[in-house]
Amino acid sequence: MIKRFSLADLADLGWIVAITLAASLLMYSGWRDQSPFDSPDILAHQGNAIDLLRNGVIPYRGQGLSYSGWGPPGTSYLMVPGVLLMPDPRLAEVPGAVLLHFGTLLFLFLIVRGSLGRGAAWAAVALAGLLPITGPTLWPNGHPFFVVGMLYFLIRWVRDRAPRAFSAALLLAGLGMYVYFTIAPALIAMALIALIYRRPVSWRSFAAALAALIVVWWPYLHFEAGRGFTDIGIMVLRRDLTVAQAQPSTPVYCYASLPGELDFQDRVYMPWTGESDPHRVIYPGAGRGAQFELQLCTLLNKSDRNFDSGYFLVNDPAWPAGLLFGVYLTGCWVLVFGALRGVEKISKGWSRVRAIPVWKFLLACALGTALIFLLIRPAVLGTLLVGDPDWNLSARLLLAQISAYGILLWISMGIGLLLASRWEDAPKEMGVLAAMIGGCGFLLVVLSEIERSWRFWWFWPLQCIAIVAAAAGLIQWIKPSRGITIAVWILAVGLFFPYRSVMAKTDSILHYGYGGRESGEMQALQWLAGAARKNPETTISIGVTRFQDEGDITLAWGWLDFGLRYINKAPNAVASDIAPGNDYRVVEFLGTDRDVHPVGCLWDGYDLVWESRGYAICARTP
């Protein structure tokens, strides 16, 4: 018998839909001002989707990887609904992205509601739904839908002893890796949970899930077989094909940041922008000691990733983002200690922990903080190997990091133990949540590259679970009135709300309207497609180049070739770099002000026929 929706269920669904729509409207405001070809990753998948629909060509490879190889084409299938439904290429990812985002929030809601309650579930949906790094987008940055869905079925497998749920989790994990292979740490965490809980498995459904994954992966595996599985190898081993002898990729520098300090400027790692303080950077050096310094710095630097990339309240000072990172750590400890209560030997002594007065927890936090500071900062820092200035600098930077992160970890552990000890009936799912969040977080810190913050973006919904666990632990302890409880959840969402991003979007809408201004690329594409359609029997040659302040000329014609062939269906137009005999030449101006550029054309024998927003089209003089 199908259970009818109650009013509470309808309210829950309405909340998820509302957050999905709000996030989607924010994400795609100003869409006209964006180039339809800004991301070569999306361009590759959009082309695959078009080929699939028009020519029946099964996608066999995806976007180019940062290691100079080819990734799986899973995102191409997610682009199919947009290619079918949206007439403008800049909106081709919207249908698939919105559906995926809704699914992510739905799974997240079900996980948190079953473990921590409705209030926590509403807060978790708002936290994960509105942050830009996990907004509705198909840019291949590790879509959290697959990870959150996998966690939901793992909880069902452990809590309800549902054998088929494990197979469903495996299927989602395999599909997720087909979309973005870098979510592999989630699969490892899944294996850890399986080893810990060892619930019954339906081998028939397990075999069916494996068979389905083989069918889905087969085109890419067939492509890889012809390349000696090179791309899978570089994804697993993190090796760059362009590097001699395929050595593992290592960071060039480490910016020794403290908790919450901004590490990125517009997705670019700070040492590479030229704006970071050189006295805060640890450089690679020879010897084990230097390598240890660099590796330790990178591990500490990445531990608060997603909290130090400029997506929260302010860029400076660092303490608000650092405080939010501390809330996340506290929630992790709440889940860990809550899970340990289920261990028989520990549960017997848990009543003693519950009996410890609050002031003793706070005193332990204070004494531990003082001890860490005194041992690491004044006592050690002033006497450390002053003979070697370079080593001394690196050591000082590392000790400052260890002190700051150590204090934050100690305080969060003490408060997490306090909150977990006051939780009367700890949810059974805490162990699964702790293993998934802790396992994925640890593996990401160890395996991901320091200069690629987007490797962590899919992890944010799991971090939201820890954040609301901290707030739920506080509510379980103080047991406030309904009004105060609601206020706590509103405060939790308000602390993490992306004010700067929302204000920037709102300001753009007020100035240029929701869709924004028309991009120069799209206008140039439409003009050239129209010129090609006027002479369908003649193949026209179009050369494309870029003009920068220094006068550098670079290859830049891929966007136009894609647009003419797939978007505007102008097969009689051929785009390439500048060559003799071009019928038209397009110049893209990339100076500090795209609207200020030389008057006229750059070449003799060509006349300016069109220009707008940083682009100019020159036609060969008759």
Predicted local confidence at residue 587, as pLDDT: 86
For 148-157, 228-237, 238-247, which range has the lowest pLDDT when averaged over its residues?
238-247
Report which listed range, 238-247, 267-276, 370-379, 468-477, is most confident.
468-477
- The yes-or-no verdict on residue 389 having pLDDT over 70 is no
505/380 Cα distance (integer angstroms): 48
pTM of the model: 0.90
Please name which of 267, 265, 336, 251 lies closest in space to residue 301, comparing C-alpha atoms: 251
- The yes-or-no verdict on residue 109 having pLDDT over 70 is yes
Q: How many CB atoms lie within 10 A of CB 352?
A: 9
Residue pLDDT, tens place only, 46-98: 889 999 998 899 999 887 776 667 889 999 999 999 999 988 888 888 999 99
Residue pLDDT, tens place only, 265-313: 777 888 887 777 788 888 887 778 888 888 899 999 999 988 887 666 5
pLDDT band at residue 327 using 50, 70 and 90 as cut-offs: very high
Burial readout 7-36 (b: 16 or more C-beta within 10 A, e: otherwise) = eeeeebeebbeebbeebbebbbbbbbbbeb
Task: Say if residues 427 and 115 touch (Cβ distance below 8 Å).
Answer: yes
pLDDT band at residue 173 using 50, 70 and 90 as cut-offs: very high
DSSP lists the bridge partners of residue 608 as 618
Q: How many CB atoms lie within 10 A of CB 408?
A: 23
Predicted local confidence at residue 3, as pLDDT: 62
> Any idea what DSSP says for residue 284?
P
Q: What share of the chain is helix, strand, coil (3-state, %, to 5)?
A: 60, 5, 30
Predicted local confidence at residue 138, as pLDDT: 84
Tokens standing for 231? 């791309």
Pairing between β-strand 573-576 and β-strand 281-282 as defined by DSSP bridges:
unpaired
Long-range contacts formed by 368-375: CB under 8 A, 24+ apart:
368/407, 368/410, 368/411, 368/414, 369/407, 369/410, 369/411, 372/403, 372/406, 372/407, 372/410, 373/403, 373/407
- The yes-or-no verdict on residue 250 having pLDDT over 60 is no
Predicted local confidence at residue 316, as pLDDT: 64
Q: In the chain, what percentage of residues exceed pLDDT 90?
A: 39
Based on C-alpha coordinates, what's the Rg of the chain?
27
Residue type, 187: L
Q: How many CB atoms lie within 10 A of CB 54?
A: 11
pLDDT band at residue 400 using 50, 70 and 90 as cut-offs: confident
553/556 Cα distance (integer angstroms): 9
**Mean of pLDDT values over 462-487:** 93
**Mean of pLDDT values over 330-336:** 95
pLDDT band at residue 1 using 50, 70 and 90 as cut-offs: very low
- The yes-or-no verdict on residue 318 having pLDDT over 70 is yes
Predicted local confidence at residue 276, as pLDDT: 75
Residue pLDDT, tens place only, 30-49: 888 877 666 667 888 888 99
239/248 Cα distance (integer angstroms): 5
Residue pLDDT, tens place only, 119-158: 999 999 999 998 877 778 887 566 899 999 999 999 999 9
Phi, psi values for residue 610, rounded to 5°? -165, 145
Predicted local confidence at residue 67, as pLDDT: 65
Task: Say if residues 44 and 71 touch (Cβ distance below 8 Å).
Answer: no
Q: Is the peptide bond before 317 cis (omega within 30 degrees of 0)?
A: yes
Predicted local confidence at residue 553, as pLDDT: 47
Predicted local confidence at residue 314, as pLDDT: 55
149/133 Cα distance (integer angstroms): 18
479/538 Cα distance (integer angstroms): 78
DSSP 74-116: HHHHHHHHHHHH-SSGGGTTHHHHHHHHHHHHHHHHHHHHHHH
- The yes-or-no verdict on residue 251 having pLDDT over 70 is no
Predicted local confidence at residue 8, as pLDDT: 85
Predicted local confidence at residue 105, as pLDDT: 96
Predicted local confidence at residue 315, as pLDDT: 57
Predicted local confidence at residue 386, as pLDDT: 46
Predicted local confidence at residue 501, as pLDDT: 80
